[in-house]
Amino acid sequence: MEWTDEGIVLAARRHGEGNAIVELLTRRRGRHLGMVRGGASRRQAPVLQPGNTVSATWRARLDEHMGNYAIEPLVVRSAILMRTPHAAFGFTHMAQLLHMLPERDPHEGLFVTLGAILDAFEDADAAGQLLARFELAMLSELGFGLELDACAATGGRNDLVYVSPRSGRAVSREAGSPYADRLFPLPAFLVGGAAPPDAGDVAAALRLTGHFLLTRALEPRGLGFSEARAAFLAAWERERPPAR
């Protein structure tokens, strides 16, 4: 069996004398493992660094086998990601979230989203909102998408400024005002708002997505957030522009 696809390197580990086991998020075949012969060599190792986009040809006798990869670089961005603390920690966090997806289950939207995020992730001004968007997308891919297009109380689609921490549904200003201290604020940029978000909006978005990832996706699996998310937030707090 053989196929060729684009993939983003999520992880690589040495295998034997000079080979490597590589985990990719591929465009059409989801999260997929394979062995790269000579992957620990000086020529191949830089290509297999997390965050790079590669062209991967996979070969195996049977579909259920791990198989072997032949890999060529397409976008080499690992050095940029690793030299910036918030980008390094943020990518590690995103890669760990992707482990909740079943292996070989296609998620082309996430592949495209992750590639676009990594291309802009060095910029601290953009990184926080990009991570919030990724976490929102992960919730949808895992079947826990938030309903942010209509008010849970009235069904209206205007002036949506809150989210219920229980239902994950948007709430309008009028309906939610009496309970505002019990609701999450809904940052406008998560629902297509035109104004650029400030740091306070982004922090609110990350609290929102973090709550639902933890309560709906991680804790039911007996998991919690990795240290990488907290490290991303700490680095981003240091590097981001101040809230207006």
* Domains of the chain, start order: 2-76 (2.40.50.140), 81-148+186-239 (no CATH)
Residue range 183-195: mean pLDDT, rounded: 89
The full length of the chain comes to 244
- Fill in the DSSP letter of residue 189: G
For residue 114, give the H/E element and its range: helix 108-120
- pLDDT of 194 above 80: no
What's the mean per-residue pLDDT of the chain?
94
pLDDT digits (tens, 9 = 90+) for 29-64: 999 999 999 999 989 999 999 999 999 999 999 888
Per-residue confidence at 174, pLDDT binned at 50, 70, 90? very high
**pLDDT for the residue 22:** 97
Most distant pair of Cα atoms in the chain: their distance: 65
**pLDDT for the residue 125:** 87
- CA–CA–CA angle 136, 79, 128 (5° rounding): 25
Task: Measure CA 183 to chain center.
Answer: 25
Q: How many CB atoms lie within 10 A of CB 157?
A: 12
pTM for this prediction: 0.93
**pLDDT for the residue 242:** 62
- C-alpha to C-alpha distances, 189 to 35, 71, 98, 101, 180, nearest whole angstrom: 41, 37, 23, 26, 19
| Burial class, 105, CB count within 10 angstroms (exposed 0-12 / middle 13-18 / buried 19+) | exposed
pLDDT digits (tens, 9 = 90+) for 5-34: 999 999 999 998 899 999 999 999 999 999
**Letter string b/e over residues 46-69, b meaning 16 or more CB atoms within 10 A of that residue's CB:** ebbbbbbbbebebeeeeeeeebbb
Helix/strand/coil for 27: coil
**pLDDT for the residue 244:** 53
**pLDDT for the residue 193:** 75
Residue range 125-140: mean pLDDT, rounded: 95
Task: Measure CA 51 to chain center.
Answer: 12
- pLDDT of 157 above 80: yes
Q: How many CB atoms lie within 10 A of CB 181?
A: 5
Closest-CA residue to 125 (of 161, 93, 86): 86
